[in-house]
Amino acid sequence: MSNSAILAANVAIMASVEESQRKEQCGRQMEGYQHDTASIEESRQYADCVDLLHPDPMTAGEVFVIKVFLCWMLLGAVVNLVYQKVTGNVYSGLDYIMFPFLGAIAGAAFPAFFYLIKFIFS
């Protein structure tokens, strides 16, 4: 193995050990935490430990947005393929493969624009 590979492996091992030590420390800190007597710094450390030990999964809204993008992309690809067949502009080779992806990108642009406007005005 090269020196850089050995160094990368050592760094990964050290990071894993540090993370497991941090999780153990957070577990002890969470057991002894008293919210009525804790200082602001202790409360922040407790919140960091909660995030480390119990990360939030994706919310239902985030999953919905991903599903909307994927559906619009699929719809864009299908519409582009149908458009090629109807107009007689059937491409060959790589173009036949790439044009549905262009339709998918165009299809995803609509919900992206909608959510961008929603984000700006929220």
47-57: pLDDT as tens digits: 888 877 777 77
Q: Which residue did the predictor score with more confidence, 99 or 20?
A: 20
Answering whether pTM is above 0.75, one says no
Q: Name the pLDDT band for 93 (thresholds 50, 70, 90).
A: low
Tell me the residue type at 95: D
Same domain, 35 and 87: no
Torsion angle of the four alpha carbons 52, 56, 57, 62, in this order, in degrees rounded to the nearest 10: -130
Q: Which residue did the predictor score with more confidence, 80 or 93?
A: 80
* Distances from the Cα of 88 to the Cα of 22, 43, 83, 91, 116, angstroms: 63, 66, 8, 9, 35
Compute the distance between CA of residue 49 and CA of residue 19 in angstroms, rounded to an integer. Answer: 11
Same domain, 87 and 115: yes
In contact, 50 and 33? CB cutoff 8 Å: no
Same domain, 65 and 45: no
Tokens of 73: 């992309």
Mean pLDDT for all residues in the chain:
76
pLDDT at 91 over 80: no
> Which domain, by its residues, includes 45?
3-53
